Structure 1
Amino acid sequence: MVWYLRVDWQHDFPDEPLTLYSEVGDDDYETRKVNVFPDGHLEWADAEHESAHTGLGEIPVPPLTEINKQEEFTAQQIDRDTFETLWTQATA
Structure 2
Amino acid sequence: MDYLHVHWRHDAADAPADIYSELDDDRWEVRKVEAFPDGTLHYADDWRSTGRTGLSEVPLPSFEELAAQDALTPTVIDAEEFERMWAGATKD
TM-score normalized with structure 1 length? 0.95
Match of 1:6 in 2: 5
1:54 paired with 2:49, answer no
Alignment of 1:1-92 (within 5 A): 2-92=1-91
TM-score, L = length of structure 2: 0.95
Deviation readout 1:41-85 (Å, 9 max, x if unpaired): 100000011233210000001111100111000001100000001
Measure, in 2, the Cα distance between the counterparts of 1:8 and 1:26.
22
| Aligned alpha-carbon RMSD (Å) | 0.8
The runs of 5 or more residues in structure 2 that have no matched partner are none
Give the share of equivalent positions with the same residue, in percent: 44
Give the aligned length.
Answer: 91
